[in-house]
Structure formats: C-alpha cells, structure tokens
C-alpha cells in the first residue's frame, strides 16, 4: 500500500494480505461461529472451507495485478463454496472481483466501490424473505463504507467505518447470529491483513503452507480446478493408462477415451497452460475448448450415456446404496455438517454420464450450493429442492427417463406440495 489520503494506491500484495487476514480470522473464530444460531449446520466450518478454496488460488501465482488476483480468488471461492454461509461469502468476492476487473492497482475509492459491489452481490445470493441478519448487517456495512468512500478516506479507514457500522447492527441482532458474525469477522480479518497484523497457523504472508494444527481443516483439501479443458489428440500412440497418469498430476478429475477419430481428453485443472504444454508432445491437438467453470457456461453433452440422469447427495455408504436403489444415477458425498461444494456438484455434472441432469437436494443446507451450480451450468440442469429425505424419495419415484430434465423436474415439484 503506497501513498496517503486520496492518493493512496492498493496493490495486489495488499489484496493478498487482506484475503490471508480474513482466512486467519476465520481460523481463529470458526468454532465459535459453529456454536451460533442461523446459517445452517456448522456455518463456521463451511465458511472456513470456502476461504481455504479462495486462499489456495494465490499459491505460487505470478499475476500481481489486483484485478487478476481478485478474479482468481473469486473463482476459487465460487467453486469451493460450501453451505449457505460459503455461498454468500463467495458472492462477496465475486462482486469485489467485478469492481476491480482490469485494474493493476486500485485507489482507495475504487477499492471501496468494489467492496460495495461485493456487498450487493452477497445480498442478491439470498433470495428468501424475511431479511436475514447477515443481509441487515451487510446493508449497514455498505452504507458505512459508502460514506467513507465519499469522504475520500484511505482503505483502512473505509474498512474501519464499515466495521463500526456493522458493530451497531451486531448489537441489535445479537452477537450469536452466525451469518452476521461471519460478515463482521471477514471485515475485521481484512483490516488486520491490510495492516499485516495477523498470525495464521496455516498461511504465511507468502502464502506458503505451514504445519497444520490438529483438527483444523487443511486448505489443500479445498483446492479447486476452475478450468474445464477439452481437446482431441490425433494420431497419438501414447498409452491411454500412461496418459491418464500424467494428466492426474494436474487434476483429480480426468476422462480419457479412445475414439475412432483419436483420443478425447476432458480434464479440470487450475493450470490449463501446463496441461497443453504436455499435450502438444502427444500428437496434433484438435477441438480445443477451455472454460472457466466459475462463470456461467454451457454443459456439453459429448456422447453422454444417458439422455437425463438424477444427481443427489449421499452422506454415507448406506444412504448411497439406498439412493442407488431408488434410482439415483450420480452421487456426490456430503451431509448437513459437511455440505458438498459447488465444485463437486459441477464436476459430477461434467462427468459425461448424461446430456442433462435433475439435481435433487434433501436438505435446505444444500439449496444455495445447488442454485449456484445451476446458475453456472445453465438450463440443461434442473433443480428439485426438498425439505427432507422423505420428500426426495417421493420425488425420485416419479423420474421418467423418456422425459426431459425440465419435464421431470416439473412433475416432481408438483408432487412436493403433496408430501408433508
């Protein structure tokens, strides 16, 4: 951070410290948040996992522009988001990223306005009424930040003003509301990070991973692969098993299929450039497509096995067997205490099993993640959001493979109103 007053400049390094500071704050406070009311089951754990996915995008990054770093962080948070609290936080980063797009550095005023974008995006991510405490606090924070931006204050004072406005609301709604507290801790962590006044057991200022404290979620488990890379290798003599082995160095998700026209490759990676550097040695590349999955994109069918499939969440092996017996085709691991991430839902839908999907959720804790996945995957995915497993079982019984995903979802949703 250089300059002073209205000439202050916020750099990419400043932004890194702010993100690290927020992650550090959640490391210190996530257990306290878990004991609070609101924001679903274990909101502290879910938001910590989301922050872990965000901070992991800054490892070994060469781009030092604030706009580029903000986009990386937003992509990681969006795909790594877990639970309703994580979705709201991811959208906060998404708005900040939009406000900083194309900027190498940012003035205090520009960053303050970007932060206000973030608050707006966070508000839009929760459609339900009545208004939740986290949104009440977010609006107050946005107003406090706006007044400081108008006064041309430095970014530290903008954050301080936002925190002060948040404290007033926090006193009214109570310090035991998880959603409001998450927003407050995020701001406090950003300010500490900006000042370099934080100590994290997991992430240093250089963002190198240190030894983990026992019981703390490891951010490496939340590493997301935001880029979907597809291409065909012509006239290759590379062994398929060897090819898959090499590709898994860049991703845990890799599909390699030998076809009459060559070898089709479908991989999710955080470094598509490295994938392509390796691929050029395997043979001529055709039909190359690279998609950032944290942005809305078209789900490609690519010789899918089925026309439409059912996708649901299983919390253990017993439920997985039950769901398969009920007719579920694609399963994602998760529970109310360990909600599946948006990335896991998208990876499952990208598996080429079906041309389209009906995604069925049996817990309200999954709803925001499912909605986010659907927003990113487009209209070839339909949602059936249930209150419990009884409703889900009743909906799944109505599945008809001859109907489209939209037609199936319409029939299931009509049935939900009859199941109490």
pLDDT of residue 195: 84
Q: What are phi and psi of 335, to 5 degrees?
A: -150, 175
Q: Percent of the chain, pLDDT > 90?
A: 20
- The burial class, CB within 10 Å (0-12 / 13-18 / 19+), for 231 is buried
Q: What are phi and psi of 187, to 5 degrees?
A: -65, -45
Fold that domain 227-292 belongs to in CATH: Alpha-Beta Plaits (3.30.70)
Going by pLDDT thresholds of 50, 70 and 90, the confidence category of residue 420 is low
pLDDT of residue 377: 87
Going by pLDDT thresholds of 50, 70 and 90, the confidence category of residue 290 is confident
**Residue 44 CA: distances (Å) to CA of 23, 49, 108, 198:** 11, 9, 30, 19
Going by pLDDT thresholds of 50, 70 and 90, the confidence category of residue 295 is confident
CATH 1.10.10 for domain 5-213: no
Question: What number is the average pLDDT over the span 199-220?
Answer: 46
Asked whether the beta carbons of 41 and 83 are under 8 A apart, the reply is yes
Q: Tell me which of 167 and 99 has the higher pLDDT.
A: 99
Nearest to 396, CA basis, from 354, 370, 362, 369: 362
3-state DSSP percent of the chain in helix, strand and coil, to 5 = 50, 15, 35
Average pLDDT of every residue of the chain: 82
pLDDT of residue 66: 95
pLDDT at 386 over 80: yes
Tell me the pLDDT tens digit for each residue of 346-366.
888 887 788 889 999 988 888
Round to whole Å and give the CA distance between 332 and 304: 19
CATH 3.20.20.70 for domain 306-416: no
Question: What number is the average pLDDT over the span 217-232?
Answer: 69
Tell me the pLDDT tens digit for each residue of 123-172.
787 766 666 777 778 888 888 888 888 888 888 888 898 889 888 887 87
- 390: CB partners within 8 A, 6+ apart: 419
What's the number of CA atoms in the CB half-sphere (13 Å) around residue 374?
Answer: 20
- Lowest model confidence (mean pLDDT) among 212-216, 345-349, 412-416: 212-216
pLDDT at 205 over 60: no
Question: What number is the average pLDDT over the span 204-224?
Answer: 47
pLDDT at 222 over 70: no
- 370: CB partners within 8 A, 6+ apart: 345, 359, 361, 383, 385
Question: What number is the average pLDDT over the span 326-341?
Answer: 84
Question: What number is the average pLDDT over the span 73-85?
Answer: 89
The domain spans of the chain are 5-213, 227-292, 306-416
pLDDT of residue 403: 93
Nearest to 86, CA basis, from 311, 331, 371, 313: 371
pLDDT at 31 over 50: yes
């Amino acid at each position: 951070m250089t300059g002073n007053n209205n000439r202050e400049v916020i750099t990419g390094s400043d932004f890194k410290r702010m993100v690290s500071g927020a992650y550090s704050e959640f490391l210190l406070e996530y257990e306290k948040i878990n004991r609070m009311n609101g924001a679903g089951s274990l909101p502290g754990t879910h938001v910590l996992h989301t922050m872990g996915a965000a901070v992991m995008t800054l490892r070994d990054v060469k781009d030092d522009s604030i706009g580029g770093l903000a986009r990386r962080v937003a992509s990681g948070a969006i795909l790594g988001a877990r639970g309703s609290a994580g979705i709201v936080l991811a959208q906060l980063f998404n708005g900040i990223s939009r406000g900083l797009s194309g900027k190498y550095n940012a003035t205090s005023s520009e960053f303050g306005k970007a932060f206000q974008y973030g608050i707006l995006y966070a508000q839009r991510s929760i459609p339900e009424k009545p208004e939740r405490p986290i949104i009440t606090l977010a609006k107050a924070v946005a107003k406090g930040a706006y007044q400081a931006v108008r006064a041309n204050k430095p970014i530290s004072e903008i954050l301080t003003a936002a925190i002060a406005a948040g404290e007033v609301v926090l006193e009214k709604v109570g310090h035991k509301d998880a959603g409001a507290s998450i927003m407050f801790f995020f701001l406090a962590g950003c300010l500490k990070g900006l000042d370099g006044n934080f100590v994290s057991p997991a992430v240093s200022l250089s963002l190198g991973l240190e030894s983990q404290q026992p019981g703390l979620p490891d951010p490496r488990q939340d590493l997301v692969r935001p880029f979907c890379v597809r291409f065909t290798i012509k006239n290759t003599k590379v062994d398929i098993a060897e090819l898959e082995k090499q590709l898994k160095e860049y991703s845990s998700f890799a599909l390699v299929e030998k076809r009459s026209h060559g070898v089709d490759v479908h991989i999710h990676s955080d470094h598509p450039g490295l994938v392509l550097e390796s691929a050029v040695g395997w043979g001529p590349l055709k039909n190359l497509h690279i998609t950032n999955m944290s942005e809305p994109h078209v789900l490609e069918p690519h010789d899918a096995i089925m026309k439409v499939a059912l996708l649901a969440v299983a919390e253990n092996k017993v439920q997985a067997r039950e769901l398969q017996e009920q007719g579920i085709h694609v399963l994602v691991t998760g529970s109310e205490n360990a909600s599946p991430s948006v990335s896991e839902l998208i990876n499952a839908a990208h598996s080429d099993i079906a041309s389209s999907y009906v995604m069925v959720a049996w817990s309200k804790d999954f709803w925001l993640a499912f909605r986010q996945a659907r927003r990113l995957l487009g209209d070839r995915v339909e949602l059936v959001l249930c209150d419990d497993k009884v409703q889900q079982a009743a909906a799944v019984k109505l599945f008809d493979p001859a109907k489209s995903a939209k037609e199936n979802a319409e029939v299931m949703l009509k049935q939900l109103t009859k199941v109490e």
